[in-house]
């Protein structure tokens, strides 16, 4: 009994389809993670802005 299954796509077409699906997945993940990236950048900016105040309170006022 022969169990070889022929694909309707050639090898090159299968590779191209796989690359397109990976590309769509990458774009979807990037768009989905924009809110997380924005939040991380915001925390870095707030840290930089409030670091002098934190150091003043920690060293001078012993908070």
pLDDT along the chain (63 residues), means of 10: 71 95 97 93 96 92 77
pLDDT of residue 61: 82
Query: In terms of pTM, does the model score above 0.75?
Result: no
pLDDT of residue 6: 80
Distance of CA 30 to the CA centre of its chain: 5
Contact 7, 14 (CB under 8 A): yes
pLDDT of residue 46: 97
Q: What is the largest CA-CA distance in the chain?
A: 85
Structural domain spans, the chain: 11-59
Phi, psi of 47 (to 5 degrees): -60, -45
Tokens 């796509």 found at: 9
Could you give the angle at the alpha carbon of 43 between the alpha carbons of 37 and 48, nearest 5°? 130
């Amino acid at each position: 009994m022969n169990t070889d299954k022929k694909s309707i796509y050639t090898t090159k077409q299968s590779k191209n389809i796989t690359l397109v699906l990976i590309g769509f997945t990458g774009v979807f993940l990037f768009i989905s993670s924009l809110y997380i990236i924005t939040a991380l950048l915001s925390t870095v900016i707030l840290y930089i802005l409030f670091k002098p105040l934190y150091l003043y309170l920690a060293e001078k006022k012993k908070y």
